[in-house]
Amino acid sequence: MTGMDRPRRLRRTPAMRRLVAETSLEPRHLILPMFVADGIDEPREISSMPGVFQHSMDSMRKAAVEAVTAGVGGLMLFGVPKPEDKDARGSGASDPDGILNRGLRALAHEVGGSTVVMADTCLDEFTDHGHCGVLDDSGVVDNDATLTRYVEMALAQAETGADLLGTSGMMDGQVRAIRAGLDAAGHSDTGILAYAAKYASAFYGPFREAVGSSLQGDRRTYQQDAANRREAIRELELDLAEGADIVMVKPAMSYLDILREVADRSTVPVAAYQISGEYAMITAAAQRGWIDRKGAVLESLLGIRRAGADMVLTYWATEAAHWLS
């Protein structure tokens, strides 16, 4: 047959496919979320996320060194306080001796300069009601009172040496408030990774176990509705105007269309978070022999990159980096 287009010519050999690949996946594109828990001496596996742990301070340092040696681009740290240390204001979040700030200082000392140390700048792990902000007298999250707490938390994290602060609470004006607070305190070099489009999702379930969440109810009054697309662009534009250095879409799997639109419009780098439920589903299917684990992990990460993410937060970051090296 003459005159036929033959795209298969460019798929004929591994070398040819590598030559014409449009999207790459490299260790530097991956960020490892980590959990450091107060009051434990040994790492504690998270039952709904096999292979992921709440770390002690020592095991966190060891895992961080392994990740950096493998070439990951960054580490995102979440703190897990003791239940008795939680209160309505999330006081432990801004306490210099709170578990998250102690962990950040340890990471900055251990691997600072070799990777990007990132902090979760949100109150939910530290509040006894489990919400991402402080509540008013009627039990509703008070947006503007929460911004004051975010600034206090951000300043404490900046003092630890964290490079980027992850504003995950989805409060209106959070990036502007934190940027102003950091600059006024002389932390103009501390960057903001803004969770520009963070959706209320059923796929967060295992994460609630990972951080020992106290949440009752849901977060639908401040996290985005899964039905909405244009709203994500509005949130993106607001965060860019307020001074975000990087923007993020979360979750990744069910929101690749949003990720593509954000990437097409953003003037700063774009991240996506492959969240706990995504990890748990692939892990469970692989454990049952239903899918090839390595193939599914790498394909899922490549798909997120192809949709427009410059970097991907994934619990497989270290392992995937080893595979890719």
Catalytic residue flag (residue 294): no
pLDDT in tens, 84-127: 999 999 999 999 999 999 999 999 999 999 999 999 999 999 99
Average pLDDT on 50-67 reads: 98
Residue 1 has pLDDT above 70, yes or no: no
pLDDT in tens, 218-255: 888 999 999 999 999 999 999 999 999 999 999 999 99
Q: How confident is the model at residue 216 (pLDDT cuts 50, 70, 90)?
A: confident
**pLDDT for the residue numbered 26:** 98
Catalytic residue flag (residue 82): no
pTM: 0.96
**pLDDT for the residue numbered 215:** 79
User: Which is the catalytic residue, given 62, 82, 86, 250?
Assistant: 250
Residue 213 has pLDDT above 90, yes or no: no
Q: Percentage of the chain surpassing pLDDT 70?
A: 100
Distance CA 191, CA 119 (A): 10
Distance CA 297, CA 283 (A): 9
Q: Which domains, and CATH codes, for the chain?
A: 25-324 (3.20.20.70)
The b/e string for 265-278 (b: 16+ C-beta within 10 A; e otherwise) is ebebebbbbbbbbb
**pLDDT for the residue numbered 212:** 84
User: Which is the catalytic residue, given 62, 82, 198, 294?
Assistant: 198
Q: Percentage of the chain surpassing pLDDT 90?
A: 93
288 against 217, higher pLDDT: 288
pLDDT in tens, 2-37: 778 999 999 999 999 999 999 999 999 999 999 999
CB 36, CB 77: distance < 8 Å: yes
User: Taking all residues of the chain, what is their mean pLDDT, rounded to a whole number?
Assistant: 96
Average pLDDT on 306-321 reads: 98
Q: Which residues contact 277 (CB under 8 A, 6 or more apart)?
A: 201, 202, 203, 204, 205, 206, 207, 251
**pLDDT for the residue numbered 220:** 87
Distance CA 143, CA 249 (A): 21
Average pLDDT on 122-141 reads: 94
Average pLDDT on 66-81 reads: 98
Q: How confident is the model at residue 205 (pLDDT cuts 50, 70, 90)?
A: confident
Distance CA 208, CA 140 (A): 20
Which residues are known binding-site members for 5-aminolevulinate? Answer: 208, 219, 276, 315
Which residues are known binding-site members for Mg(2+)? Answer: 235
